[in-house]
Amino acid sequence: MTIQIPDNEVEHLRVRLKHTRWAPPVDSAGWEAGTDAGYLRALADYWATDYNWREREARLNRFNHFIAEVRGTTIHFIKADGQGPNPVPLLLMQGWPSSFVQMLDIIPLLTEARDDGTPCFDVVAASLPGYPFSDPPTQAGMSFSRIADLMAELMVDTLGYARFAARGSDQGGLVQQQIGLKYPDRLIGLHRSGITPFANPMPADLSSAEMEYQKTVNALHLGNIIGEAVHYS
C-alpha cells in the first residue's frame, strides 16, 4: 500500500485545529498542572499552518507498507527484508500513544548486513488494531490476548515464518506477553520494555507461586493508579 491521505482530509484537520476551543490556562503553572497551555497552542498552530504533511507522507512511503486481513481485521505493517544471510524474523509492536513511526529509525539498523557475526533481521513493524492504518475494533473484546492471536497468525500463516522473535513496548509489550503465553513454540525470543508485569487474562496453568506474584503486582498496579489520581486531584 501507499500512504496517500486525500487533500480534503488534510484541509479538514487544519480547519479543526484553527478552530480549537481552548480552556483558560491555570495561573501560568507551566507544566506542573499538565501540558503547558502556551506550548500546546503553538504546537496546534504549527500543525495547522506550517506542518508539511506531503513531505512527511513521502518520508513514510520510503518504506514498504502492506495490509493483510487477519480473522476479519485489517492489519497494517511495514516489511523490510534483512540484507544478510539467514535473517531472523522480527515482529516489532509499538505502544500508546505511539505508532509504527516509532520504529522507522531502527529498521535500517536491524536489516543491514554485518561482517562481525551480528544477525540481521526480516523486520515486520505491525500496527495494533486501532492504530494507524489498522482497522479500529468495531466489537467488544479486542483484548491483548486476541491481538496476540492476530499477530501470531500474521507472522506464521500470512507471512510464512515458522518461528519469529518479537519486540514491543507498553501495549505492544502486553501483546507480546500473551504471544509468549499462548504461542511459545512459535517464538525465538522476546524483548520487552515500558511494560507492566501482570498477566491479563491469567493463564490456567500458573503455579501457586506465579499466582501469588500476579496478585501482588496487580495490587501494586492498582495502588499506583490510585496514588496518581490523588496526586493530580
Which residues neighbour 191 within 8 Å (Cβ) at sequence distance 6 or greater? 165, 166, 167, 168
Residue with C-alpha cell 480473522? 71
Which residues neighbour 142 within 8 Å (Cβ) at sequence distance 6 or greater? 129, 130
Angle, helices 144-153 vs 171-182, to 10°: value is 70
List the chain domain ranges. 1-62, 63-195, 205-233
Cα–Cα dist 48/157, whole Å: 42
Architecture of domain 63-195: 3-Layer(aba) Sandwich (3.40)
**Is-above-0.85 flag for pTM?**
no
User: What tens-digit pLDDT sequence spans the chain (233 residues)?
Assistant: 999 999 999 999 999 999 999 987 776 667 877 788 888 999 999 999 999 999 999 999 999 999 999 999 999 999 999 998 899 999 999 888 889 998 999 999 999 998 888 899 999 999 999 999 999 988 888 898 999 999 999 999 999 999 999 998 888 888 998 999 899 999 999 988 766 666 666 677 878 888 888 788 777 655 554 444 444 44
